[in-house]
Structure 1
Amino acid sequence: MVVGIVGVGLLGGSIGYILKRKNWAKKVIGIGRDENKLEKAIELKAIDEYITIFDNRLKEIDILILCVPVLIIPNYIKKIIPYLKKGVIITDIGSTKGDIIREVEKILSDDHYFIGGHPMAGSEKTGVEALDPYIFENAVYVLCKTKFSNEHSMNIIKDMVKILDANILEIDYELHDLAVATVSHVPHVVASSLVSNAGKIDNNTNNILSLAAGGFRDTTRIASGSPEMWKDICVTNADKIVSVIDNLQIELNKFKSAIEKKDEEKLLELFKNGKELRDSLPKKRKGILSTMFEMILYVPDKPGIIGTFTNLLGEHGINIKDIEVLHVRENYGGSIRIAFDKNIDSNKAIKVLTENNYEFKVLE
């Protein structure tokens, strides 16, 4: 199987690396314009060779994976399709599906297959240098049928996704776009709005953001995503996002009304409902931004204590993604939040800290 990857960045590079390492692909061809980045991809073993201009070398590709911004996917397919062979399977990893599929279905003929794809995985990092062979492990990988997909093409793409160690979710593209608007796109809009709101208040008081501790940073972490990418997502999923924002405003108005009236019973009902739904969410499933495996470590108040446990974890090859001092009282010690970006690191840390008699709590 010869795989072509357009856009050999974090996800495209990770796909190429995994397919090569597991010998699923006979050859992986990178397609792009930046030769320096493509050379780096070869060095990192994400691809075998690359193409910077469309020519007959594209004819050997069996599967073409588009890892480029959602707004340019349909037009890119329109330009590259004359160079592809009959029977080629095209898929993408775009975060929205409706606009892409509707436009692509206008372009393709029965000579080609197209399956919409969306791996619910990612990272704050970008570029092929950040490729991660475990980035898709246990992540949901959405597949959407189109007018130009059949059982044969679906089975091949499903086989590829299984090689990535992701969990396949086959879903209608309209339902997909509503789902991601609800659990990903609007939360990002809200996170950005929360930060912007805090910034405006801070301009008048000069101390609001100094109070932005772990809770606020965790709530708004997704606002650190690429503005360009999220602009494209909002444009290509506008109807669904606007609909979800309308529903969210109804929920916020319920809170506003209850708070204005100091209606304790209604507030308790609203908070209980939110807590119950939040507690029922699937745990530690990867999403658009990488899952953080977190714990709170309770330590005594003494010099060098942070260096002691970080060195201990480092000696066992455990990588700490993030660390934050939450609370320290003189002579009483305090609590420190530690985060890992891989489940294997989290599990190893639990074992090492337990063996060395540290007191901690794993966050779920």
Structure 2
Amino acid sequence: MLFDTTIIIGTGLIGTSLALAFKETKEISTIIGYDIDNNSLKEALKLGAIDEPAKISDISKADLIIFATPVESTKSILHDTISLAKENTVVTDVGSTKYKITQLFDTFKNKRVNFIGGHPLAGSEKSGPLNAKADLFKGKKYILIKSANCDQVYFNKFERLITKIGAIPIIIDAETHDEILSITSHLPQIISYYLVKTLMNLKEDNENYLKLVGAGFKDTTRLSKSDPQMWIDIFKQNKENILHAIENFEKELTAFKKNLIEDKYNEIKDDLSKISKFEL
């Protein structure tokens, strides 16, 4: 087995899905769970994702600690609990921002824990343990960031576990992660939210806007159903990169608007042709 006892802190969609996926690998002897939401914890237990509920102090029992909580919550819990972790414990998270949390861990120089920043590029606009799936990570990229104080042996060990749940490890640095995710994840979320807000504003004067919402609009705005508090935390931690992403998007939107005003449809068509052929 790769790990003896794992504690999942946060038994929502991602935390519970990880627990279910780990169960299938049979590479962890015991999985315990902690959540301030007792109902969430009960559901994870009922699903068989965790073997037993835990107290936050049970961090001291684990050789793998996974923070599946909003990024700001992870920071505050870490400050209060890092002293409880055993020497050489592997500590990781699943947050959508990595630079600030990695920086925080690099300040714990007197504590020999192996922090690995983690970000599975998997999930849903749905939340909670009832939407968890053991195969959520299969074929999906799972970003791993090795902190300065992480021993390579423990990094390799956790990477093997991630591979065993069917995910594809991508190893990069924290700054690059946050810069790229501001475009590929955070900007689409913002656009989704504010496209819905645009509709909300317009329907105040004309209810027919709601009657004529089609599948395209619903597909484009699916992300707007995501948990706002989780995203506020991400916006706080990746503010500068997100502002830069918005500026880039505004530049393209302004160029399109100018071409449309000036009836430059050939220029627009050239742009759209290039875009439609771009392989993601």
TM superposition score category, shorter chain reference: over 0.9
- What runs of 5+ residues in structure 2 fail to find an aligned partner? none
C-alpha displacement of 1:274: 1.8
What corresponds to 1:77 in structure 2? 78
What's the TM-score, normalizing by structure 2? Answer: 0.93
C-alpha displacement of 1:214: 0.9
2:221 & 2:245 partners in 1: Cα distance?
A: 19
- Which residue identity does 1:190 align to in structure 2? I
1:223 & 1:59 partners in 2: Cα distance?
A: 38
1:192 & 1:88 partners in 2: Cα distance?
A: 39
What corresponds to 2:161 in structure 1? 160
Q: Is the 8 A contact 1:3 1:64 kept in 2?
A: yes
Q: Is the 8 A contact 2:126 2:226 kept in 1?
A: no
What corresponds to 1:43 in structure 2? 46
C-alpha displacement of 1:195: 1.4
Matches within 5 A, 1:9-24: 9-24=12-27
2:198 counterpart of 1:197: yes
Matches within 5 A, 1:1-364: 1=3, 2-54=5-57, 57-277=58-278, 280-281=279-280
2:14 & 2:113 partners in 1: Cα distance?
A: 24
- SS of the residue aligned with 2:7? strand
2:15 & 2:26 partners in 1: Cα distance?
A: 17
2:73 & 2:109 partners in 1: Cα distance?
A: 16
Q: Is the 8 A contact 1:110 1:148 kept in 2?
A: no
Of structures 1 and 2, the one scoring higher in RCO (CA 8 A, sep 6+) is 2
- What runs of 5+ residues in structure 1 fail to find an aligned partner? 282-364
1:195 & 1:276 partners in 2: Cα distance?
A: 28
1:51 & 1:108 partners in 2: Cα distance?
A: 27
The higher radius of gyration belongs to 1
Percent identity over the alignment is 30
Q: Is the 8 A contact 1:35 1:52 kept in 2?
A: no
1:134 & 1:156 partners in 2: Cα distance?
A: 21
Q: Is the 8 A contact 1:77 1:104 kept in 2?
A: no
Answer 1 or 2: which has greater helix percent: 2
2:133 & 2:56 partners in 1: Cα distance?
A: 27
Give the superposed CA RMSD.
1.6
2:207 & 2:42 partners in 1: Cα distance?
A: 47
Between 247-256 and 268-277, the greater mean CA deviation after superposition:
268-277
What's the TM-score, normalizing by structure 1? Answer: 0.73
Q: Is the 8 A contact 1:115 1:148 kept in 2?
A: no
Between the two proteins, the alignment pairs up a number of residues equal to 277
